[in-house]
Amino acid sequence: MAGVTKPKVGRVAPLELVEAALSGRIRIPRFQRSYRWEASDSERLFDSILRGYPIGNLLMWRKPAPAAEITLGELHFDAPERSDALWVVDGQQRLTTLIGALTASEHTVDRRFRIFYDLREKDARKRFLSAPHSQNVRDHWLPVWVAGDNRRLIAWQRERPWLTEEEYDLCDSVATAIRTYEIPMYEIEGDDEQALREIFDRMNTFGKTLKRAEIFQALHSAPLDVQPSDLDALRDRAAALDFGDFSPQLLMQSVMATRGGQVDRDFRQEFKDNEDRQQAFARTEKALRLVVDWLRNEAGIPHLRLLPYALYVPVLTRYAALFGHPTGRGSELLRRWVWRGAAVGAAPQGNTVALRRNASAVHDDPVASATRMLGLLPIGGELWKPDLTQTALNRTQAKINVLGLLSAHPVLLTPATDSDGNHYPAGTRLGDSRLLVDMLNSGNSPLQPLVSGRTMAAKVLHPADKTGFGFFSEWWDPAVLRSHCMDERCVELLDMHTTESIDEFLARRADIMTTVISDHVQRMALFGFSDGPAAETLFDEDLWGDSTDAA
């Protein structure tokens, strides 16, 4: 077999990478693990580009590639067969971020690609920021996808005649950096894997790199040459949202929900032809992205394993397919539906019946649809209290308990390291790391034993620690204690080390936990509040007329 050639070393600008990707030349294999960067990583990447800091090298393997459907961030397109394709060996995270952010638009859902430059932020280290789809974008936030296109940038500036000379200069600096920054790229042609491994080992990389075993297994696996079924492809793309593993059944129900009719009907005879099927899957994928974004940022549910009921996914997917990203009063009522259903039971007559009824309630108008869904829930949630005996995440009440504890923003009691090798010191908020997602993705429980007992009060929301937590003697900081539903008296009781003190500790912490979880559920569910359209929409201006016309 031919040996590996001497690496071709060159430099490539971000926009050249975008052009190569859109032409189908750059290929990212279907790795077992998905795109893993967080929004803060994307912000830091563009900040490094603006400052001219190195972001590491790219390692590409030139080899033929078949015609295929390409997925890069939120981009999906058909690429032709290429004899000179560049398969990414090292640099997947950076490439996906660059291409995803520079080809984004105002309709992009994934926050990691919605990167902006704040022209009015005084601290230069904080000028790059990300924003969820649901957040209103400030008029002085320059989108990086605009900065990368000269004509779009000029149009964007013309729409803002109030920009100062300094702000114009900042726009120019960002645009120039994106267009002229050069990334070292090693391009290798050949089939000597050992040489490739050695090069990979010796390269200094930036960000969250993959284990080489994962890379070479992916590069030589069948999926490079074999197109997966539509359902498998949809599952892969849903996995890239880093929200958990969507089962084929759940995805199948979601596809059916977007098409209307009985959600649990026979899937096999559903589509008229390949085009009909492809359109259905594309529509479902787009809606799923909106749903995941809404669940994270509006409903406060960070992962599929903490979603109280699976039926929420297809019902919300139908809603997003019909009406787009939930906003305004519709979003508020949907959040009540999710949380009230979690507390009182969203499926009183069984999951199948509840799925049919709720999906059928979504039609014609977003607010009216959400109101009808709320009307399908059992009543009586005003008296709901958490059941702290529920700690297994296959139970809805346990999920509510964990979500309630997350609302207190628990911090790390010991240093921890995530699956990508990032280190977090003690005192870091659990929600500011990817540690929780790591635990949930792996199937492990995020609840660790603090003292003996089978209730939530005996556990702490924290990554596993082999050395154990010991007691909280060193954690007298009231903010740290509050984040774990404790107070100074709890620490005193723990330090006594007696059966009686532990029993009193459990009772005291259970009271605190009950209050924290109950308050969180009420904030989200708003039991006792009036549902339906907002009060101001009940007044029709056409009925009352305009005062100037009346005059």
Quick count: other Cβ atoms within 10 Å of Cβ 231?
Answer: 16
Q: What is the pLDDT of residues 386-403, one digit of tens each?
A: 999 999 999 999 999 999
Q: In this predicted structure, which of 54-58, 165-169, 304-308, 473-477 has the lowest mean pLDDT?
A: 473-477
- pLDDT at position 19, please? 94
For the four alpha carbons of 87, 89, 95 and 100, in that order, the dihedral sign comes to: positive
Strands 128-130 and 183-189, sheet pairing: unpaired
- pLDDT at position 62, please? 87
What would the mean pLDDT of 434-461 be, rounded to a whole number?
Answer: 90
Measured in Å, how far apart are the chain's first and last C-alpha atoms? 91
Mean pLDDT of the chain: 85
Residue that is written with structure tokens 């071709």 in the block: 8
Nearest to 134, CA basis, from 102, 110, 99, 103? 110
Q: Can you give the C-alpha Rg of the chain in angstroms?
A: 26
- Could you tell me which residue, 497 or 20, shows the higher pLDDT? 20
Q: Which amino acid is at 212?
A: R
Nearest to 289, CA basis, from 263, 328, 324, 334? 324
The Cα-based distances of 488 to 15, 461, 503 in angstroms read: 56, 18, 16
Grade residue 208 by pLDDT with cuts at 50, 70 and 90: very low
Question: Which of the given ranges, 2-16, 379-393, 456-470, has the highest pLDDT on average?
Answer: 379-393
Grade residue 200 by pLDDT with cuts at 50, 70 and 90: low
Query: Which of the 8 DSSP states describes residue 138?
Result: P
For the chain, which residues make up each domain, given as ranges? 8-224, 230-383, 396-525
Query: Which of the 8 DSSP states describes residue 125?
Result: G
Task: Round to whole Å and give the CA distance between 199 and 188.
Answer: 10
What would the mean pLDDT of 28-32 be, rounded to a whole number?
Answer: 58
User: For the whole model, what pTM was predicted?
Assistant: 0.74
Quick count: other Cβ atoms within 10 Å of Cβ 21?
Answer: 26
Grade residue 199 by pLDDT with cuts at 50, 70 and 90: low
- pLDDT at position 116, please? 97
- pLDDT at position 246, please? 93
- pLDDT at position 292, please? 95
**Long-range CB contacts for residues 219-228, cutoff 8 Å, separation at least 24:** 219/29, 219/61, 219/87, 219/89, 221/29, 221/30, 223/29, 223/30, 224/29, 224/30, 224/65, 224/66, 225/66, 227/68, 227/69
Q: In this predicted structure, which of 11-25, 35-49, 226-240 has the lowest mean pLDDT?
A: 226-240
Q: In this predicted structure, which of 101-110, 185-194, 229-238 has the lowest mean pLDDT?
A: 185-194
